[in-house]
Every structure is written in structure tokens, then in C-alpha cells.
Amino acid sequence: MEQYLAFVAIVVNDYDEAKKYYCDTLGFQLIEDTPQDNGGKRWVVVAPYGNPQTRILLAKASSPEQSTRVGNQTGGRVAFFLHTDDFRRDFERFRAAGVKFEELPREEVYGTVAIFQDLYGNRWDLLQFKQ
């Protein structure tokens, strides 16, 4: 038996601004952007560069309740963990692109990490595991 987590949904305000942020700012790959038949919805999927098996569905909020979740899907906790094979390269690239980091990089027993926020305020770890 083989299983894996195929998608994680991130609730966003706007498809195009989210797609631009994840692809242009973070350097993710656009996997799919397909219109749906139901009132302007789209199936917008991005993935970290180099690993398209792990995908993020950019899901536009479609109700007032869903809108309250944009940027705070986990009650303020770090929600997403972006692993890199070169922390310094990606940290500097993200900073140059305007990504908001909450802290300077720090060394932990498991590796190098720094928390950043996406365009909506969701908290992410950029991390490189020790080998």
C-alpha cells in the first residue's frame, strides 16, 4: 500500500494575487490553473520547486466564515514547513523578494530555521535539516 498527502489547501482572498506571490515571490511552480463550472471558482495548484508531489491548493474564500480564516488557518501557529537543500540561498532570495521574516535564522538540534509570513500572514518555517 502506498499513500501520500497530495494537497494542502490554503484559503486565500484572490486567486491571482496568491498565485503571483507563491510563484513569483517564493518561486513555486504553477501546476494547474483550471476554471471550474461553479461561479468563478478555479482549481489553482502550486508546488515548491523541485518537488511537485507536495502540492498546495489555493482555495479562494467563498463565504464570510471562510474569509475569517485567511491568514490564520492554524490559530497563529506555524502551519507550513518548507524544507530547502540550501537555507542561506533561499533565505537571502526570499528576503530580496520582500518576504517578511519574523526572526533571524537560528540553529536548532534538527537544523537551521526561520519563521516567515506569506502574503496573508500564515506562518511558515523555512528549514534545512541537519544531515
Does 121 reside within a domain?
Answer: yes
Q: Are residue 3 and residue 50 in the same domain, yes or no?
A: yes
Q: Are residue 48 and residue 89 in the same domain, yes or no?
A: no
What was the pLDDT predicted at 109? 97
Does 81 reside within a domain?
Answer: yes
Q: Are residue 13 and residue 59 in the same domain, yes or no?
A: yes
What was the pLDDT predicted at 110? 96
Q: Are residue 82 and residue 32 in the same domain, yes or no?
A: no
Distance CA 51, CA 23 (A): 14
Instruction: Count the neighbouring beta carbons within 10 Å of the beta carbon of residue 19.
Output: 19
What was the pLDDT predicted at 38? 76
Does 69 reside within a domain?
Answer: no
Question: Which residue among 15, 39, 63 closes a domain?
Answer: 63
What was the pLDDT predicted at 15? 97
Q: Is 90 exposed, middle or buried (0-12, 13-18, 19+ CB in 10 A)?
A: buried
Does 45 reside within a domain?
Answer: yes
| Number of structural domains found in the chain | 2
DSSP β-bridge partners for residue 107: 112
What was the pLDDT predicted at 50? 87
Q: Are residue 9 and residue 33 in the same domain, yes or no?
A: yes
Distance CA 49, CA 21 (A): 14
Distance CA 126, CA 83 (A): 6
Per residue of the chain (131 residues), give pLDDT as tens. Answer: 888 888 999 999 999 999 999 999 999 999 999 999 877 899 999 999 988 888 999 999 999 999 999 999 899 999 999 999 999 999 999 999 999 999 999 999 999 999 999 999 999 999 999 98
Domain residues for the domain of 48 are 1-63
Does 56 reside within a domain?
Answer: yes
Q: Are residue 7 and residue 43 in the same domain, yes or no?
A: yes
What was the pLDDT predicted at 90? 97
What was the pLDDT predicted at 131? 81
Q: Are residue 8 and residue 45 in the same domain, yes or no?
A: yes
